[in-house]
Structure 1
């Protein structure tokens, strides 16, 4: 009897701040009735509401809107007499039609000048080719295929490098830089006789090295022609090899040696990186484990930077947030907390090859285990929690010394429930390449985070914070404004199984933003891009922290640097 939409031509249902758009509500009432509608934010708070009369039969009424508030909107509607609720659509549950409003933070943050294009800090998987989505998400990096299986699927020496060997998407959108993906061997070059994702070294190692030289040639040419302000070219050799590596340790290093020497023979600006294990640290199959095992065999000689995925061992879903892995203190495994994994990873990197760059090339947050797409899944509370946990995990890796972090994934896809930052409105289990979408809270929280933290250097974690308080300081490039990302987390308010995640839990925290004895104002940006002014006295501002990060914009970098610890080996952007 009732449905609703906030249509856009790009299929994303995201709008600019303070720009007009429409809520379109279609009814098929059996008799005259009244539509009662409302829009709630990510916390479930009603932002606006209303009602209007409708006659019997099919009709569509459009409500004109202009929003100076930014964030996630969940539109609900029903008929006062006849009832009804908005139907589910694809992976989006019943009861809601979702949309987003992007923040306008230029008045607060200004415009950052990039000395080099590759100073940008955010990539994304799942939206290759969808430039509108990448722009909305504030993304500057995507992953481009150059593996042997993609370029020479049918036999050796069949790939000819060329400056024109570039997807038209990148040609048309030079603001999107490429991380060149090199894993994946076709059957002809595989020891198994069939495709493998670089779980064995190539059977024809000399040809592999020659192939990599060709990749270096065309990547260098492409950068010169399309990315004149990009300083380096970036190559990722393996992709989660610990999930299947079955060859010898010596052959793993030999494969990296061939890739490294081949690429560097033709690309003087190459940054070759790996090993890209799923977890940063604290196990033999994590990135630290591989760096130590294979580093002892010479791997350090064949990588210019480290790449990792940013998952944490106990799971990447709301019930297991990145700060604490277990709600039961007797079994808490703090070494697996993501902040501690980052500290351990930077320590291993510094011991193996000092001052290396670190790239997190995938990191996502799913729904809790046991949930499946359906009429009532996900709940508003699950969506709230996914956004809070997802954003915090990316801030932790940037604050822990990563140059770049990569959002995962674009829209919901089959097989793993809830990793998408957008609902797929066409497919009940999600689909790769989906284009009819609507945002989840996480999408709009990401859009704020990228706008606030892109164009910054990491100053590091604020020292001396109370237990359960997390705060990381950043400074805009060119010695600009200071941005402190801060939140609180309590396991007691965040059940590991069952129950609701608290949307109201808060703590008070005093942040030093200026010199002692001074007073003035700072700007607070909430987790969805809404700004307010906070007064400070004696150089300190009192904050009310929640499970959703907020961002404090201040000007005294000397104070911020004195109160933060730069991650070991992090040399800036």
Structure 2
């Protein structure tokens, strides 16, 4: 009886701030009626509403809109006399049609100059090829396949490196850098006789090393032709090997040795990374730290230039278990599993094994809670709010805890694992890989704000002296620019781990030092969705009202910020 949509040509339903766009409402009323409509934000608060008359039968009414407010919008609409609600579409539930308005933060943050392209900090899985979505989210890194299984599926020595051996997407969009993925062995090179995701060392290690040399040649040629301002090339050898490694420890190190020596033989700018296990630390098998300890003792440190990890903190990362949940646990063993503490453990292991290494987080995502499926009545507005709050905090913790790069997961909803998408897929009820008819979730606009606020920065570290339940990480723009402090609060009591509603109103007061004692002035606050306001400070401190959604405070006294933050061990900047 009634439907609504925002009209775009790129399929994202995301618009620039203060730029006109259109909302089309299609009705099929049995008689003359009135459409009652509203737009709510990520917190469920109504931002604007109205009504208009419609005639009977099928007709489309178009509203012209311009928004100086930034964030996620959920349109609702019904007919006053005949009812009806917006239909379920794909993985998006009944009752809403969603869109986003991007923040414009350049007046606040200015323009950052990058000495080299790989100083950018945010990557993405799931949108390779969708440049509109990547630009909307503020992404600079994606993952490109160069596995043996991808390049030599049918036999050895069949892959010839070439500067033209590059997906046209990258040629057209040189702002998107490549993390080169190397895991995956075809049947001819597999000890199992069938494809395996590098859970065994290659059958032909000599050919494997030779293949890596050709990948290095290929990548060097591509970088010179397409990325002249990129300092290094980045290679990830394994992908969550803890999910299936079945070969010997000696062969694990030998595989890395062959990859390392092959790549470095032809690429003087190679950064070889691993092991990319699901969790950063606090376990021996499924964690990157555990693998570094076990295989580092056998020589692995000699064959990696940087560490790659995934950024999960429990087996099924979802809003009910946010990254800070166990910080307040009285058991120190449980505290160690909080994501911020895992980063401390991982950085300490890296520093002991090979000081001052780079750290790339190449995947981290937040799903819906267990038991929630795609359907007409789910997810709820509260679940979407929680996914955004938890998802964005996890990536701030990753770079605040010492990762040079963190990688968002995933583009749009996909089948098999419910709710990891940053966008709804409007065509497929269970989601589909490569979906292009999209509708943003709150998380998409929270990510878009985070990347715009924190890309082009060096990490100053965790702000010291914050009370329990308060989290603040300080960053400084490249070139000794402005300070941006990301801050939020978390309360386990307001965030039930076993069902119930997550508090959208919980807040706490926090005094952040932004200048020297005795001074007064103003700082700029960017809320979690990119809306800007001015806050006064006195005696060098600004009083903040923190919620579960991060906000970003822009200040100018870097000396004070550095004195009040702890740089992660071994972090050497971008």
- TM class by shorter chain equals over 0.9
Please report how far the alpha carbon of residue 326 of structure 1 lies from its aligned counterpart in structure 2 after TM superposition.
9.1
Note if contact 2:278-2:309 (Cα within 8 Å) is conserved in structure 1: yes
**Secondary structure in 2 matching 1:169:** helix
Please say which of residues 235-244 and 331-340 is displaced more in the overlay: 331-340
Note if contact 1:279-1:310 (Cα within 8 Å) is conserved in structure 2: yes
Distance 1:109 1:187, change over 3 A: same
Q: Does structure 1 residue 551 correspond to structure 2 residue 559?
A: no
Q: 2:533 is matched with which residue? A: 532
Q: 2: CA distance between counterparts of 1:555 and 1:510?
A: 17
Q: 2: CA distance between counterparts of 1:326 and 1:338?
A: 9
Q: 2: CA distance between counterparts of 1:64 and 1:387?
A: 28
Q: 2:284 is matched with which residue? A: 284
Q: Does structure 1 residue 153 correspond to structure 2 residue 153?
A: yes
Please tell me the root mean square deviation across aligned C-alpha atoms, in Å: 1.0
Q: 2: CA distance between counterparts of 1:507 and 1:203?
A: 58
Q: 1:259 is matched with which residue? A: 259
Residues 494-515 of structure 1: CA deviation (Å, up to 9, x unaligned): 0012210000000000000000
Q: 1:129 is matched with which residue? A: 129
Q: 1:6 is matched with which residue? A: 6
Q: Does structure 1 residue 44 correspond to structure 2 residue 23?
A: no
Residues 16-51 of structure 1: CA deviation (Å, up to 9, x unaligned): 000000111000000111000000000000000000
Q: 2: CA distance between counterparts of 1:325 and 1:538?
A: 34
Note if contact 2:412-2:424 (Cα within 8 Å) is conserved in structure 1: yes
**Secondary structure in 2 matching 1:333:** helix
Note if contact 1:327-1:496 (Cα within 8 Å) is conserved in structure 2: no
Q: 1:447 is matched with which residue? A: 448
Q: 1:379 is matched with which residue? A: 380
Q: 2:303 is matched with which residue? A: 302
Note if contact 2:328-2:468 (Cα within 8 Å) is conserved in structure 1: no
Q: 1:274 is matched with which residue? A: 274
Q: 2: CA distance between counterparts of 1:421 and 1:552?
A: 25
The aligned length equals 573
Q: 2: CA distance between counterparts of 1:239 and 1:495?
A: 32
Q: 2: CA distance between counterparts of 1:37 and 1:385?
A: 25
Note if contact 2:329-2:335 (Cα within 8 Å) is conserved in structure 1: no
Q: 1:562 is matched with which residue? A: 563
Please report how far the alpha carbon of residue 315 of structure 1 lies from its aligned counterpart in structure 2 after TM superposition.
3.3
Q: 2:111 is matched with which residue? A: 111
Residues 502-544 of structure 1: CA deviation (Å, up to 9, x unaligned): 0000000000000001000000000000000000001000000
Please give the TM-score of this superposition, normalised by the length of structure 2: 0.99
Distance 1:327 1:426, change over 3 A: farther
Q: 2:102 is matched with which residue? A: 102
Please report how far the alpha carbon of residue 398 of structure 1 lies from its aligned counterpart in structure 2 after TM superposition.
0.4
Please report how far the alpha carbon of residue 313 of structure 1 lies from its aligned counterpart in structure 2 after TM superposition.
2.2
Q: 2:480 is matched with which residue? A: 479
Which aligned pairs between 1:17-36 and structure 2 lie closer than 5 A? 17-36=17-36
Q: 2: CA distance between counterparts of 1:331 and 1:293?
A: 23
**Secondary structure in 2 matching 1:255:** helix
Q: 1: CA distance between counterparts of 2:149 and 2:494?
A: 48
Q: 1: CA distance between counterparts of 2:415 and 2:355?
A: 41
Please report how far the alpha carbon of residue 7 of structure 1 lies from its aligned counterpart in structure 2 after TM superposition.
1.7
Which aligned pairs between 1:205-220 and structure 2 lie closer than 5 A? 205-220=205-220
Q: 2:223 is matched with which residue? A: 223
**Secondary structure in 2 matching 1:410:** coil
Note if contact 2:91-2:431 (Cα within 8 Å) is conserved in structure 1: yes
Q: 2:519 is matched with which residue? A: 518
Q: 1: CA distance between counterparts of 2:9 and 2:354?
A: 49
Which aligned pairs between 1:19-418 and structure 2 lie closer than 5 A? 19-285=19-285, 286-313=287-314, 315-325=316-326, 333-418=334-419
Q: Which runs of 5+ in 1 are unaligned?
A: none
**Secondary structure in 2 matching 1:336:** coil
Please report how far the alpha carbon of residue 332 of structure 1 lies from its aligned counterpart in structure 2 after TM superposition.
8.2
Residues 259-287 of structure 1: CA deviation (Å, up to 9, x unaligned): 00000000000000000000000001110
Q: 1: CA distance between counterparts of 2:332 and 2:369?
A: 20
Note if contact 1:324-1:332 (Cα within 8 Å) is conserved in structure 2: no
Residues 385-413 of structure 1: CA deviation (Å, up to 9, x unaligned): 00000000000010000000000000000
Please report how far the alpha carbon of residue 208 of structure 1 lies from its aligned counterpart in structure 2 after TM superposition.
0.2
Note if contact 1:324-1:333 (Cα within 8 Å) is conserved in structure 2: no
Note if contact 1:314-1:325 (Cα within 8 Å) is conserved in structure 2: no
Residues 429-473 of structure 1: CA deviation (Å, up to 9, x unaligned): 000000000000000000000000000000000001000000000
